Chains A and B, each alone.
Chain A
Amino acid sequence: MKRMVLRLASITYAMKVSRILKRNNIMARVVKMSDIGVNTGCGYGIEIFEKDLYTVAAILRQEGLEYSVYDDNK
């Protein structure tokens, strides 16, 4: 299943988001951006399934959290 990564402001926000998503039964894994080949000068994101993107985006909007989307082509 195709996955995507949402970059968050820091590890703290990645942790916060992963917990929110897990409470909503959405699979989320905290990843380091450089580990998935994204060279943005260090950073953390959450890896989700592409099918969950719109639901996740809605949740993040509701929480007032900014993010940027990376497609890791898995």
Chain B
Amino acid sequence: MMITNSPIYLDNAATSFPKPECVISSTLDCIRHYCGNPGRSGHSLSITCAERVYECRELIARLLSYPFPERISFTHNATAALNIAIKGLVPSYSHCIITDLEHNSVIRPLIKLVSERMCRYDVFDSSLPLTRITELICPETKYIISTLQSNVTGKQIDIKILSDIAYSHNLGLIIDASQYVGHYPLLLEGLHFDAVCMPGHKALFGIQGCGALVLGEKRCDTLLEGGSGSDSFNTEMPLLPPERYEAGTLPTPSIVSLLCGVQFIMDYGIYNIQKRIDKLTERLKDLLLNIPSVHLYACENGIAAFKINKMPSEILAEMLDKYGICLRGGIHCAPLIHKKMMTEQEGLVRASLSILNKEWELDRLYSILKSI
């Protein structure tokens, strides 16, 4: 079994690795020197942590061109943010529209609403022009819930078109930005939306344990109730964000890491990041297309999905792991797109990039795949 000491990591759609050195050092600095509980006490450690938390809200707001940092609540991950948004905003007996690119973090909460709140939904075929999503709107439609980028194929959905459609049809809009944010510019000012959900640990380079729920004007019902650090005699959660959606202790080290990660990508420049990801994707596509045994299903926006002949994807992923190449095989928690591509039996292997990947890593993947 060949195992290299420094793995070639091509699973950034699952979580980004490695993290920039500044993220690691700032997280350790927090844990070592000042990790109190933000928003609970008045001592210097608690206030320092609260300042870091607020700085993170402000920086994310700046990244997203969103003028309301106080509407950014921290969650444990994008899945938690999506659960709050979907379960807290979608009314009973209503109809929603999702796309066939959705992750189970959208599908499963929605299925819960179907069984418990008599909601129903339709799935939009993402291979059609996005404007045709209006054909699925009916009198009971209340929300469009959509990812901005598939975690399997890399295909993107235009948030501006969705926002305009939702606005003109008086619909709500819930966005899953998990694969998009941090790689491509996401500018929310002026857009009509109710919630944008994102993880901290993918392209934003934070460590695991933190996500963000960016809310529009509407108040969302709460999913979790508990301590909020203020107004303790009130037995209900605060009415205002962000604390309304932040019951209990925040994942402070994760938020500090996210603060540093967001600063890192802002220093790099989001348009430079976009160029880098597009350049790496182009190289990967060229390499994979040059291997006759590779069936390339999709390769765009930092994500490539492929298989080799009839080899089950998990077997191929395991084989590549022995060569020190980390990718993900299987269904990627995205059943609808696999059913559409008829790959639900053997799944696909997914390579997903970050700006920290190097060209030689893709060349190494190419040479290993060619030898299989």
Contact = CB atoms under 8 A, between A and B. Distances in A.
> Interface residue tally of chain A, by bracket?
10 to 19
Contacts of A12: 39, 54, 57, 70, 242-243
Contact of A35 (B42, B230, B231, B243): B42
B356 interface: no
A11 B38 contact: yes
Contacts, number: 58
B182 interface: no
Kindly name the residue among A11, A15, A40, A43 whose own CB sees the greatest number of chain B CB atoms within 10 A. A11
A41 B231 contact: yes
Nearest to B243: A10
B233 A16 contact: no
A32 B232 contact: no
Interface in B219-250: 228-234, 238, 240, 242-243
A64 B229 CA distance: 22
Contact of B230 (A10, A15, A30): A10
Interface of B: prevailing SS: loop
A65 B302 CA distance: 42
A13 interface: yes
B51 interface: yes
Contacts of A27: none
Contacts of B232: 41-42
A36 B18 CA distance: 45
B25 interface: no
Contacts of B50: 11, 15, 30
Contacts of A34: 42
Interface in A3-20: 9-13, 15-16, 19
A11 B70 contact: no
Nearest to B234: A41
A41 B240 contact: no
Contacts of B4: none
B69 interface: yes
A39 to B, nearest CB: 10
Contacts of B41: 32
Nearest to A11: B39
Nearest to A35: B42
B234 A16 contact: no
Task: Kindly name the residue among B39, B46, B238 whose own CB sees the greatest number of chain A CB atoms within 10 A.
Answer: B39
Interface in A30-74: 30-32, 34-35, 40-44
Contacts of A43: 230-231
Interface of A: 9-13, 15-16, 19, 30-32, 34-35, 40-44
Given A11-B38, A13-B240, A35-B42, 13 more contacts: A9-B230, A9-B238, A9-B240, A11-B229, A12-B70, A12-B243, A16-B54, A16-B70, A31-B42, A32-B46, A40-B233, A41-B231, A44-B229
9 contacts: A9-B240, A12-B39, A12-B242, A15-B51, A19-B58, A30-B50, A40-B231, A41-B230, A44-B230
| 3 nearest A-B residue pairs (beta carbon) | A32-B42, A41-B233, A15-B54
